[in-house]
Structure 1
Amino acid sequence: MTTPFPEAITRYNEGDLAKLIVKKSMERLSEIVDVDVLVVGAGFTGLTAAWLLALNKFKVLIVDESLRLAGMGGSTPIVLPVALIEEGEAVEIAKDTGIRLYSGLSGIYVVDPSEALLKICVKALDAGANLWLGIKIEDVITRGRGDELRVTGALVNTALPLDDREGTNPLYIWARAVIDATDYECCVVRTLVKKHPEIKLEVPGASSGNVWVGEKEIIEKTGMVVPGLYVAGLSVAELYNANRVGPLIGGLIISGRKVAVQVASDLRAEALGTTSTG
């Protein structure tokens, strides 16, 4: 009987394969626990930011607590396989990723959200970003307090259900910058607010739906929360009580680009010992 694989590989038993998996996993983990940028949230915003930062040679890790990309099956009205994107900067970014655009209304295009998300993700990975799914943020790593507070990474753990969560220690991820792109969870900012009440920051939640105001607010308010921590995408709405936008992804993509530009500028300024204006 013919085999589709080289006959020579049959000399490896399951123990050999397990050793290879463990060895390469440890090598990869050693690489991704110390990065330039930790992007939390593998949706349109987070993946766009990760792609553009990786293109600029920053070492990027994306984590998401789901075992699928954050927008797979989401970001659509009543789980229909359609999302909308506005003409302009967002469409230009979409074209750069190869996302297919279909006609809709004047100035508004229709996209398949799963295709769009996957194509941005592939761009990010091809540019050098790393993706680690099934990982949740358990805490933040900080230095200083009050006005001196700086976020320097996060403590992560498996997002899979465990019988004894208390006995599972998290792993450190050291990062020069952390981007909260967790949509309405806004989990990184919420964790920081809980652990550092002295910064007197609140997360009031998103306001009611008002699509065009919301799109504008999300983009305008994307940026630094405290040194080392940035907020983008729908997390912006949650933090600043901006209006909900629904199944439009243009603002999310532009927000991802904006935060990538600011993070890149700030990290380069820090490397030169100067202060960036963002």
Structure 2
Amino acid sequence: MPLDERIITKAIIDRYFEKIRGILNLDAAIVGAGPAGLVAGYCLASAGKKVAVFERKLSVGGGMWGGGMLFNEIVVQEEACHVLEELGVSTRLYQEGYYTADAVETASTLTSRCVKAGAPIFNALSVEDVVMRPEGIVGLVVNWTAVNMAGLHVDPLAIRARAVIDATGHDTEVVSVVQKKVPGRLKTPSGSLEGEKSMWSDEAERLTLENTRDVFPGLFVAGMAANATFGGPRMGPIFGGMLLSGKKVAELVFAYLESLPKESS
């Protein structure tokens, strides 16, 4: 049978529209497809929640792909190995307390498991605003990353979500929007975005997990975005805290969703 370019094009359009129509009303919207966001998506979808992940870049996986300075290996501490093992990623003991994993295997496996669990990933989509009501954040405002890069005046579209997770890493994209729109209202010591501090791996890994929490009604932070929001340091190419943060934020969001009134069908 000869291939017809019109059918190829129609198949892509129909399937994408089907996919995006299915996520216009979510339990949880995750912004950022790095390690914390992917683990959170996998955990929440596996628990039966309706989830989608939005990534402004064309590639997903965050900083994992490059390992440390393009040496594509990552380090995780022992207490985080079980997260990788659950998802099917191989780890190797380097010395007591330090395990390594192939960065490409880790990023690709987390991505695959997240999608297969039922959390689709929409890449090249940027979050430029939130949907807000008196009770808090109830959704996201999205546009094509290419539109923003080109500086085009194109109105965005909105997606509803009962909870939003900012897992955008150093950039804290969603938290930054909230701070700009309602200054002084974040649940940080100063009420504002505290900002990322210089590298201190041990302290950063501890604080990544401690700072994983809600920061505004309907908004949670995870991974490096949690540290940057609450003023913790960066950690470099060790990813255990981010993996554990993704699992923790999924548990927090699940409990939050269960506490909300049931939506009428």
- Do the structures match in fold with TM over 0.5? yes
Aligned to 1:132: 122
- After superposition, give the CA deviation of every residue in 1:151-204 in whole Å (9 maximum; x if it has no partner): 111101111256863421111111011100000000000001001125263223
1:254 deviation in Å? Answer: 0.3
Distance 1:141 1:128 in 2: 24
Give 1:130-169 correspondences, 5 Å limit: 130-144=120-134, 148=135, 150-160=136-146, 165-169=151-155
Give 1:27-106 correspondences, 5 Å limit: 27-71=18-62, 74=65, 76-88=67-79, 90-106=80-96
SS in 2 for 1:84: strand
Q: Is residue 171 of structure 1 aligned with residue 161 of structure 2?
A: no
Aligned to 2:11: 20
Match of 2:248 among 248, 251, 258: 258
Distance 1:169 1:70 in 2: 28
Identity of aligned residues (%): 30
Amino acid at match of 1:32: I
Distance 1:75 1:25 in 2: 29
SS in 2 for 1:242: coil
Distance 2:60 2:76 in 1: 19
Q: CA RMSD in A?
A: 1.9
Q: Which moved more, 1:254-263 or 1:112-121?
A: 112-121
Aligned to 2:260: 270
Contact 1:137/1:154 (8 A) holds in 2: yes
Distance 1:271 1:261 in 2: 18
1:208 deviation in Å? Answer: 1.8
Contact 2:195/2:230 (8 A) holds in 1: yes
Distance 1:253 1:238 in 2: 16
Q: Is residue 205 of structure 1 aligned with residue 195 of structure 2?
A: yes
Say if 1:178 and 1:75 are closer, same or farther in 2 by CA, change over 3 A.
farther
Q: Is residue 236 of structure 1 aligned with residue 226 of structure 2?
A: yes
Say if 1:75 and 1:196 are closer, same or farther in 2 by CA, change over 3 A.
farther
Say if 1:81 and 1:28 are closer, same or farther in 2 by CA, change over 3 A.
same
Between the two proteins, the alignment pairs up a number of residues equal to 259
Aligned to 2:168: 182
**Structure 2 portions without partners, runs of 5+:** none
Once superposed, which parts of structure 1, at least 4 consecutive aligned residues long, lie more than 3 Å away?
Answer: 72-75, 161-166
SS in 2 for 1:176: strand
- Greater Cα radius of gyration, structure 1 or 2: 1
Contact 2:197/2:232 (8 A) holds in 1: yes
1:243 deviation in Å? Answer: 1.6
TM-score (norm 2): 0.92
Contact 2:39/2:110 (8 A) holds in 1: yes
**Structure 1 portions without partners, runs of 5+:** 1-6, 274-278
Say if 1:26 and 1:166 are closer, same or farther in 2 by CA, change over 3 A.
same
